[in-house]
Amino acid sequence: MPQLTRQELYELVWSKPMKDAAASVAMSHGGLSRICHRHDIPIPARGYWSAVQAGRLASRLPLPARINAQRIDLQGASRKPRTELLEGRARAIAALRQTAAPATTTSSARRLCTNRTEEALSNARPDRFGALAAWGLGVARVRASPEAIPRALSILDKIGFLLERLGHSISSSSTPAHLSIDGTLVPFEISERFVRSNAPPDAAELARRESFTQRFPMHVAMLADPWMYRPSGELTIRLSDGRERDLTNRWADGHIRLEQQLDRVIVEAIAHAAARNVRQHDVERRLADQTAARRQQLEAGANDEAERRRKADLHEEAEHYARYLRHLRLSSAAPRSEEFSQWFKWAETHVEALREASSIAAVERELVDIDPSTTKERG
């Protein structure tokens, strides 16, 4: 999919109906309209093309000027799956089908990330919802009630198991821990949903409150209503903080338990890594373009400054020689020889040449040589 300037995209949407213009760049009608709106590009109003077909005069809306407008990457705006994402999904699906499903792991067989997360949760203090959240180097983002933490840790361990089967891992050197897929880090989180409820507590809820009060008595004493929110027991996995809009980034307990959805989570995580990698390359390319443009500006500015210094030096040299000649003219009362007269005439001519080279007229002539259009603009 191409990259267009604002002017090129403006010409495209005013050259044919929006549906045809969108099809020419492999986008939907709505997607192209949103891109135009985002970049302040006017589009034909409803009825414009009907008026054109009927032969009635229909004028274009002008394109507003924008300083330092970048090229528009239509591929980054498309909601259709990109080739890199489809290939990443296909490789993950094939690899997961080649081996057996993960067995239930015991505490002694847990991976490094799971152990670190469990230790961080054991030292955590509840938030206003009564949830415990883990944080630290190599610690996964897990937020859940004390009752749901064992299940969340089990899911975390199974995610690590699946990644290892595909040659990937959970990073132990980032804060928080990320999924590490071919060197690309993908953020992830396991959290429990809490609900607000005023219903009378049943026996299970009363037992939970008693256990919670024994473990965190200060927390219960500090809040006016520590039981306003109740844990639902429903866990959710999120990837990339929802930033990859083309991809699925959330899975939750429903009619299918989260444990049965982990294969799909891993497949989509690999697609997330591919998308983040492409986006990172785009960012690096744009930064390189901006750096190159800035370097050209600095070089042009340096050249201009050097030229200004050269003109100033010429002017100063001309004035120095002029003062010297005036001194000779006033101080020399004796008759001048023919050689001295010739030298004096040459010196005056040289001074005039230096003054001319550093004059405003000379600068304007140089500008005309560089860009002849400057004379038309002044005219």
pLDDT of the residue at 48? 87
What 3-state class would DSSP assign to 196?
strand
Least confident of 52-56, 210-214, 366-370: 366-370
Least confident of 103-107, 174-178, 265-269: 103-107
Domain annotation covers residue 290? no
pLDDT of the residue at 376? 44
Q: Round the average pLDDT of the chain to a whole number and report it.
A: 80
143 and 203 part of one domain: yes
pLDDT of the residue at 80? 47
Least confident of 60-74, 105-119, 355-369: 355-369
Domain annotation covers residue 267? yes
pLDDT of the residue at 68? 61
Domain annotation covers residue 298? no
Q: What's CA 54's distance to the chain center, in Å?
A: 45
Domain annotation covers residue 295? no
Domain annotation covers residue 240? yes
Q: Mean pLDDT throughout 362-379?
A: 51
Least confident of 162-176, 201-215, 286-300: 286-300
17 and 105 part of one domain: no
Domain annotation covers residue 293? no
pLDDT of the residue at 366? 58
Domain annotation covers residue 233? yes
For residue 79, pLDDT over 60 is answered with no
DSSP labels for 118-179? HHHHHT----TTS-EE--STT--EEEE-TTTHHHHHHHHHHHHHHHHHTT-EE-SSSSS--E
> pTM surpassing 0.75?
no
100 and 61 part of one domain: no
Burial call 328-354: b when 16+ CB within 10 Å, e when fewer? eeeeeeeeeeeeeeeeeeeeeeebeeb
Residue range of the domain that includes 54: 3-77
If one counts the domains in the chain, the total is 3
In contact, 239 and 272? CB cutoff 8 Å: yes
- Other C-beta atoms lying within 10 Å of the C-beta of residue 5: 13
308 and 359 part of one domain: yes
Q: Choose the final residue of a domain: 27, 52, 77.
A: 77
331 and 206 part of one domain: no
Please write the tens of the pLDDT for every residue from 23-39: 888 787 877 888 888 78
24 and 97 part of one domain: no
225 and 87 part of one domain: yes
For residue 104, pLDDT over 50 is answered with no
pLDDT of the residue at 103? 46
pLDDT of the residue at 131? 95
Domain annotation covers residue 291? no
270 and 133 part of one domain: yes
205 and 338 part of one domain: no
Strand partners, 180: 169, 185
249 and 338 part of one domain: no
160 and 228 part of one domain: yes
Least confident of 105-109, 168-172, 238-242: 105-109
Please write the tens of the pLDDT for every residue from 272-287: 888 888 777 777 777 7
